[in-house]
Structures are given as C-alpha cells and as structure tokens.
Amino acid sequence: MDTQKNQPDSRTALLQAARDLIFTRSFEHVGTAEICERAGVRKGSLYHFFSSKEDLVLAMLDALMDDFERAVLVPSLEGPGCIRERIDAFVQAIHGFEAAVHRESGYLPGCPFGNLIVEAGTYSPGLRQAVKRHLDRVAGHFQRCLQEGIDRGELPAHTDALALAERWLALMEGILVMAKVDQDPATILRLGPALHVLIGVSGPHTTSEDPPEGAAGGNA
C-alpha cells in the first residue's frame, strides 16, 4: 500500500504520465494501465486519487492550465510594453512552450485543449465543459490585455474587447493546428504576425483614430 508520504508524489506522477501519453497520442488510445505503468504506480493507486480515467484527465487539464498561465499568459500579456509588444511576447512564449514539448517528446501537440474537445467533446459533457472553462480563462487574459490597450489609447475606445479576444483565441487555435500539421514550432513564429492584423497593430504606429481590423465597435 502506498504510504501517506508517497501519496502526493504518486498523484503528481499520474498527472504527468497522463499528460505525456494523452498529448502525444489521444484520450481514447491511452488506457489506465499504461498511465500507471508510466507513472510507476499500481493501478489501485489511480483509483485512490481519481474516480475514473476522465476524472484524472480533468485534474490533468487543471494542472496544464495553471502551467500555461504561469509560463505563457502572465509573463507575456501582463508584462511591460505596448499591446503589439505584448502580442509578440505571447507568440514567442507559446512558441517556446510548444517547442519544449517537441524537444522532449519528438511530437508537437498543438493545443491540448483543442485536441481533446475534437476527440471527446461530443460524448463527454464533463470534458467539454472543462475545456470551455479553460479556453474562457485564456480568452480572459486576452480581453484584459486588449482592454488595457483601449484604456491607453492604443485601440479605439469603442473596440469590443470581449469579441476581439474571442477572435484572438480562434486565430491562435488555427495557428496551433497548422503547427501541428507541420510538426514544426517555427510555424507559430511564421503565422503569429497575423495577430497584428487582426487586432489592428500591424502598422509602424498605432493610434486610436480608426478601428482596428476585426475590432467590433458600437459605432459599426
């Protein structure tokens, strides 16, 4: 039986094993026995911490979102600089995040949240709701960054930050799909400047006189 001392380590190992296996393959094609073997724990340990494989994956998504927020979203979007500089920092950060996985596993996963919703979203309401919650959290970071740009006069005052954040998320998901198709992190850097056009900061200088491309405003 696992000791109390080893319980936190076993849980962490299970989360990491699930992450490594499912992100480089799929939810459906990875079984609990393989996850336990990868984690170095008995199968009974999994059910000590999680009621099911789906419960394990839900906890794994929570941990992934925390890591993504800490490694990518906060340092890039809440750092110094104008909105264009923050977008560039975001593209560089997400490139680094994906490139690290690619180096470690030999596989570029794209967006793990998007992968999971495509595979399991139609038959698992729990996974679908979890993915939506996490993507909404990502969009919330985009929205706050955009709102700061509006408040500083970098974007027009009538820009709809929520609508533009959703478009930012959609474009980023598409870029990650293309990077996955290419199996090349450099695709993120090549396509990332499309965010400049979407948000309206593609020129050498951004003013608040004209609405940015793709920005939803109340005076359309």
Q: Which one has a higher pLDDT value, 214 or 84?
A: 84
| Shared domain check, 126 and 45 | no
CB burial class (10 A; 0-12, 13-18, 19+) of residue 29?
A: exposed
| Shared domain check, 15 and 60 | no
Domain-located, residue 205: no
Q: The domain that contains 41 carries what CATH number?
A: 1.10.10.60
Query: What single DSSP character describes residue 27?
Result: S
Greatest mean pLDDT among 38-47, 121-130, 138-147, 204-213: 138-147
> Of 20-24, 94-98, 118-122, 128-132, where does mean pLDDT reach its minimum?
118-122
Of 151, 12, 36, 178, which is closest to residue 95 (Cα–Cα)? 178
Residue found under tokens 């925390």 = 66
Domain-located, residue 212: no
- At 7 the pLDDT is 62
Average pLDDT of the chain, as a whole number:
87
Arithmetic mean of pLDDT, 178-189: 96
Domain-located, residue 43: yes
CA atoms within 13 A on the CB side of 43: 6
| Shared domain check, 171 and 80 | yes
> Of 98-102, 111-115, 119-123, 143-147, where does mean pLDDT reach its minimum?
119-123
| Shared domain check, 138 and 74 | yes
Of 41, 1, 3, which is closest to residue 15 (Cα–Cα)? 41
| Cβ partners under 8 Å of residue 178, min gap 6 | 187, 191
Query: What single DSSP character describes residue 176?
Result: H
Q: Which one has a higher pLDDT value, 149 or 220?
A: 149
| Shared domain check, 16 and 73 | no
Domain-located, residue 9: yes
| Shared domain check, 193 and 88 | yes
Output helix, strand, coil percentages for the chain, rounded to the nearest 5.
70, 0, 30
Q: Which one has a higher pLDDT value, 1 or 83?
A: 83
| Shared domain check, 138 and 188 | yes
Residue 220 has pLDDT above 70, yes or no: no
Domain that holds residue 72: 54-199
| Shared domain check, 191 and 103 | yes
| Shared domain check, 97 and 22 | no
Contact 119, 27 (CB under 8 A): yes
Domain count, the chain: 2
The share of the chain scoring above pLDDT 90, in percent, equals 64
Domain-located, residue 210: no
- At 121 the pLDDT is 65
| Shared domain check, 181 and 142 | yes
- What is each CA distance from 43 to 2, 7, 33, 36, 48, in whole angstroms? 11, 13, 6, 6, 9
Handedness of CA 106, 175, 188, 136 (dihedral sign): negative
| Shared domain check, 65 and 42 | no
Contact 180, 108 (CB under 8 A): yes
**Sequence letter at residue 198:** L
Domain-located, residue 209: no
> Of 49-58, 74-83, 209-218, where does mean pLDDT reach its minimum?
209-218
Dist CA 52 CA 125 (whole Å): 15
Query: What single DSSP character describes residue 3?
Result: -
| Shared domain check, 36 and 145 | no
- At 194 the pLDDT is 96
- At 213 the pLDDT is 44
Domain-located, residue 207: no
pTM: 0.84
Element (H, E) at 149: helix 125-151
Q: The domain that contains 189 carries what CATH number?
A: 1.10.357.10
pLDDT, tens digit, for every residue of 4-13? Answer: 345 668 999 9
Domain-located, residue 174: yes
Residue 47 has pLDDT above 50, yes or no: yes
